[in-house]
Structure 1
Amino acid sequence: MSRLRYLLAFGVTSFAFALAAQGQDVRPSPASAATASRPAALADFDAYVDATRKQFDVPGIAVAIVKDGKIVLEMGSGVRKLGESAKVDAHTQFAIASNTKAFTAASLAILSDENKLDMNDRVVDRLPWFQMSDPYVTREMRVRDLLAHRSGLSLGAGDLLYWPATTYTTKEVVQRLRYVPLTNSFRAEYAYDNILFAVAGLVIEQVSGKPWADFVHDRIFVPLGMTESQTHAPESIGPNDDIATGHAKFDFKDLKPVAPMSWNNNPSAGGIYSSVHDLSKWLTMQLDGGTYKDGSGKEQRLFSEKRQAEMWSLITPIRIPEPAVPELKSARPNFSGYGEGWFVSDYRGHKLVWHTGGWPGMVSRVTMVPDLKLGIVVLTNQESGAAFQAVTMRALDAFTDAPKTDWIAAYAAGVKKAEGNADDSMKKHEAARMKGAKPSLPLDGYVGTYRDPWYGDVKVSKQGGKLSMTFSKTAQLSGTLEPWQHDTFIAHWTDRSLNGDAFVNFSLDPDGKVREVRMEPVSPLTDFSFDFQDLRLVPVEK
């Protein structure tokens, strides 16, 4: 998934540059300790990565750069978990989240090359029970459409079915698509989603006869020698496991570790853990046109050049916003869009093929410059898009002879503005609030079970003289309801790492009974995957 609204907003147009570091804590991989192959512009790269990490409060960062089929560097900076001494290195595994989408696209490419499916196949011909909320879209949805974010769904639609983790199965998630509203015309414009990658994963399983996780392991990880990759998030992390722990700023302020999330009901959208060492093999194969060397040194092919060209071709155009701050102007692309599991844009005359990923406590970016045969991987264990963008941009500049730019200051300005906008938003809410306005009903009048067609049941109960709200399928979405004004409350989730508090508005009928409940995030910085605004909760008759 793409974690955080401001991460998405800056994902295409903003990057940062780190200043010289002091007190470095950097661990190059033994295989890449020599720096002779680095361009002169990357002579201070280790210090730069460490400075970026410290500037944006990231406990650990891992980076790999490949060029012309060779590893330029592999390195780690910082620690796997705050308060512990274990260091991040090139072999430390991180959740790569939505960077998984390219593996799902590659899996479909493999099956297409084997003539087991066609990317223009109708989804209903593969999954006869598949259904969208519109019959036309159901009938016309093609396999390629599942990968291109142009279905007519809204941004992050349906994400609450699996984010935070729920008890639904993947098939149950997809079956509920028939109730998720469309907010735009089919193939009309870009809106990022995760749920259709769950459909893509089920298509892979139907065609191949294997679970998605087994297919990716057997047909991609094993051939490429990706022994430091797994398709399920670890339930727990032991002291000897070289796996990073995610970190988040609880209530947008206090940086703390977050519990690992196991996500098995939409893994094809974001379920892979990997290291930069392994992902350098993935990018080398991609930059070599789908080919790789097997254990004996013989060249093999994972997928055809034709299929790779289609994955890297722009299918869905993306509007390019003006930079949030003037300092980011030179990072603004001339074109931007989405292909099959990859974003496509440009920088300084070079086409970029890239993706970002976000997970509780971890965000990352994978970038390729095909005409330079350049690949860059940045994995982090904190929810700071500024950090991975900073490192990526520094590496891009080094290989494109770009003028030296103070990106760290530029991105810091962008983050400051985003946070300021969030503060302004809350001030506007406060100004519009009628102080002292009490709920229209006794608290017992709001108690009950409410049902949304696509999510399911949400319960409001009264405990100790206060209201609480619990999402029946989502253990983490449980908290108290604080009266705001009239029939509007704020849901404060017990898990403060979520940063997803929401306004809850109870609409009453003429007789003073609750007719409907609507929700929306309080902060504009809340992850777009908390798609509360799409819920239409109505009382369940007793």
Structure 2
Amino acid sequence: MRSTSLATRGAGLLFGALLACQALAAPPAPELPAQLQDFDAYVEGVRQRFDVPGIAVAIVKDGQIVLERGYGLRQLDRPEKVDARTLFAIASNTKAFTSASLSILADEGKLSLDDRVIDHLPWFRMADPYVTREMRVRDLLAHRSGLGLGAGDLLYWPGTDYSTLEVAQRLRDVPLSGSFRGQYAYDNILYGVAQLVIEQASGQSYERFLRTRILEPLGMRDTRYNSDALKPGDNVATGYAKADFKDLQPAPRMAWGNVSGAGGLYSSVHDMSQWLRMQLDGGAYTDAGGKPQRLFSAQRQKAMWSIVTPMPISEPSVPALAPVRPNFLGYGEGWQLSDYRGRKLAWHTGGWPGMVSRVTLVPEHKLGIVVLTSAELSGAFQAVTLRALDAYLDGPRTDWTAAYGAALDKSLAKSDDDWKQHQAARAPNTQPSLALAKYAATYCDPWYGDVVIEQQGGKLRMRFARSEALVGELQHWQYDSFIVRWDQRWLNADAFVDFSLSADGAVREVRMESVSPNTDFSFDFHDLRLTPVPAKGGG
């Protein structure tokens, strides 16, 4: 046997000790269950079926990161691939961060979720004085305010120049369509108010609070407050939308600088894994120095994961989705709550121009799954999430790609049928009652503000004064109804524009309604009540 020098033997012992420490600090991830042995091929199949340029997935089980992977390309015309650290807009998955921020402040005694909003923001107003007086901080999180689905979203969707404060102050004119705490109706705007409550109670900007109290402690170093905070060289995906619901094209990168608490964050599955681990550990985590810490109390997490607002349960659109129908469904504080195969889920989805995502937790099994995608079809993240859930919950091997593909096909066919019904009801060969110049004017809605209609080159053009993307051409439909075809075709939000005339033949009011049932609910055109702004010097 050859002898070994002391220095070499010492180095070998040191190297062995380092390996031993690394093994103790980061035990090998458990083997994937049988249903996930072909997971890479399955996700690629999902990508192809739903025409998604990029997908990233992470799975956390029993405190360990089982899987962190990217699939596809960050941008279709470039070679860089999606990986575990590629940033996507997580959109409404931001809401759980806003809820957690309020829980941190509640644990510190700086507020209570039972506080009235006006106790923190004395200027706060809703359209009804009773709702203004009785609105509690918890109500901001639970979608039971009496606002309609997506009410007020045009104040920041698809991007406006209003400030967070201006958006919140305009709530006083956003109409209520339901009773206070009477029914579930998803909104975003009240999370912007929650953001302002956090700033008032903490004495910090919401961006700084998130960074110093959540992101940095959890080691979420890559996560960005919104797209404005993205840095040159960031590993970030480009989102894609199907213009006119058909042709895939890049969606412009947008920022919700005015309602970031509802959906601003960009993150990666690598960073989101740390968020999942903390959530599954009841708010506890280990800091960079190896010391146990707690982000929020177990009591607060229990409240976040308790139903505040019951949600209606709809029947599946196709028979193959019957196993997904829950026995219970409700909204807590920033989380949706339901069951799947007999286990409680805490989950949420996010939608953004060109990107959709889902975060799912199974507390009983210490299981967490996050799926981020760079397209707008929810079937992709649903199919991936359910394959992972079935693998850990002993569910049967199911072709969720086919099931959600069938649901997509049915939705598109329904949209086509809806358009055919509009065409069948259209009166042929009608003309507008007025000369085009008579429709051109500045119109004002009480909560949104100004919408301008101008005559240019013998055609009418519509422009939402505070929304750069909402510019398009009015095409005559019938009588005094037009359709606005937006220049930005990726919006998929063309709308009927109906002019009501007075007895004297002047425009009295303009109403709008989305043409397609597949248009995102955040285009709440139907809530607008546009009336002409009197010309200066006029009567």
Please name the residue that 1:302 is paired with: 295
Please name the residue that 1:475 is paired with: 468
Please name the residue that 1:25 is paired with: none
Please name the residue that 1:417 is paired with: 410
SS of 1:224's equivalent in the other structure is coil
Q: How far did residue 351 of structure 1 move?
A: 0.2
Please name the residue that 1:185 is paired with: 179
Contact map agreement 2:159 2:467 (CA 8 A) in 1: yes
* 1:224-235 aligned within 5 A: 224-234=218-228
Q: How far did residue 508 of structure 1 move?
A: 0.3
Q: Residue 128 of structure 1: which of 122, 126, 136 is its match?
A: 122
2: CA distance, partners of 1:212 / 1:452: 30
The CA RMSD over aligned residues, in Å, is 1.4
Report 1 or 2 for greater relative contact order, CA contacts < 8 Å, sequence distance ≥ 6.
1
Q: Residue 212 of structure 1: which of 202, 206, 224 is its match?
A: 206
Contact map agreement 1:236 1:260 (CA 8 A) in 2: no
Please name the residue that 2:324 is paired with: 331
Cα gap change, 1:72 to 1:418, in 2 (>3 Å) = same
Contact map agreement 1:90 1:275 (CA 8 A) in 2: yes
SS of 1:192's equivalent in the other structure is coil
What does the per-residue CA deviation read over 1:285-330, in whole Å, with 9 as the maximum and x for residues that have no partner? 0000100001121110000000000000011001101111111111
Q: How many pairs are equivalent?
A: 511
Contact map agreement 1:237 1:243 (CA 8 A) in 2: no
Aligned: 1:162 with 2:156: yes
Please name the residue that 1:46 is paired with: 40
One-letter identity of the residue aligned with 2:41: A
One-letter identity of the residue aligned with 1:152: G
Q: How far did residue 394 of structure 1 move?
A: 0.3
2: CA distance, partners of 1:35 / 1:70: 6
2: CA distance, partners of 1:36 / 1:114: 37
One-letter identity of the residue aligned with 1:300: Q
Please name the residue that 1:10 is paired with: none
1: CA distance, partners of 2:240 / 2:204: 34
Q: How far did residue 241 of structure 1 move?
A: 2.4
In structure 2, stretches of 5+ residues that fail to align are 1-24
Please name the residue that 1:535 is paired with: 528
Q: How far did residue 235 of structure 1 move?
A: 7.3
* 1:251-262 aligned within 5 A: 251-262=244-255
Cα gap change, 1:373 to 1:35, in 2 (>3 Å) = closer
2: CA distance, partners of 1:458 / 1:477: 10
Contact map agreement 1:234 1:260 (CA 8 A) in 2: no
Contact map agreement 1:59 1:79 (CA 8 A) in 2: yes
Please name the residue that 1:146 is paired with: 140
Aligned: 1:222 with 2:216: yes
Aligned: 1:503 with 2:512: no
Q: How far did residue 236 of structure 1 move?
A: 7.2
What does the per-residue CA deviation read over 1:480-510, in whole Å, with 9 as the maximum and x for residues that have no partner? 0000000000001111110000000000011
SS of 1:166's equivalent in the other structure is coil
One-letter identity of the residue aligned with 1:470: R
Aligned: 1:250 with 2:243: yes
2: CA distance, partners of 1:423 / 1:129: 46
Contact map agreement 1:459 1:471 (CA 8 A) in 2: yes
SS of 1:518's equivalent in the other structure is strand
SS of 2:237's equivalent in the other structure is coil
Aligned: 1:116 with 2:110: yes
2: CA distance, partners of 1:210 / 1:408: 45
2: CA distance, partners of 1:35 / 1:293: 18
Q: How far did residue 37 of structure 1 move?
A: 2.1
Please name the residue that 2:70 is paired with: 76
2: CA distance, partners of 1:303 / 1:235: 26
Please name the residue that 1:20 is paired with: none
Aligned: 1:66 with 2:42: no
Contact map agreement 1:78 1:87 (CA 8 A) in 2: yes
Q: How far did residue 407 of structure 1 move?
A: 1.3
1: CA distance, partners of 2:467 / 2:65: 42
One-letter identity of the residue aligned with 2:245: F
What does the per-residue CA deviation read over 1:183-215, in whole Å, with 9 as the maximum and x for residues that have no partner? 000000100000000000000000001111110
2: CA distance, partners of 1:237 / 1:467: 40
One-letter identity of the residue aligned with 1:421: K
Normalised by the length of structure 1, the TM-score is 0.93
* 1:259-338 aligned within 5 A: 259-338=252-331
Please name the residue that 1:491 is paired with: 484
Q: How far did residue 409 of structure 1 move?
A: 1.3
2: CA distance, partners of 1:422 / 1:35: 45
Cα gap change, 1:237 to 1:225, in 2 (>3 Å) = closer
Q: How far did residue 35 of structure 1 move?
A: 7.3
Aligned: 1:441 with 2:440: no
Q: Residue 375 of structure 2: which of 369, 382, 389 is its match?
A: 382
Contact map agreement 1:82 1:256 (CA 8 A) in 2: no
2: CA distance, partners of 1:86 / 1:52: 20
Contact map agreement 1:235 1:260 (CA 8 A) in 2: no
User: Percent same amino acid at aligned positions?
Assistant: 64
Cα gap change, 1:236 to 1:306, in 2 (>3 Å) = closer
Q: Residue 86 of structure 1: which of 80, 91, 108 is its match?
A: 80
Is the deviation greater in 375-384 or in 249-258?
A: 249-258
Aligned: 1:466 with 2:459: yes
Please name the residue that 1:37 is paired with: 31
Contact map agreement 2:452 2:465 (CA 8 A) in 1: yes
Q: How far did residue 118 of structure 1 move?
A: 0.5
Q: Residue 100 of structure 1: which of 94, 97, 113 is its match?
A: 94
Larger radius of gyration: 2
1: CA distance, partners of 2:319 / 2:282: 37
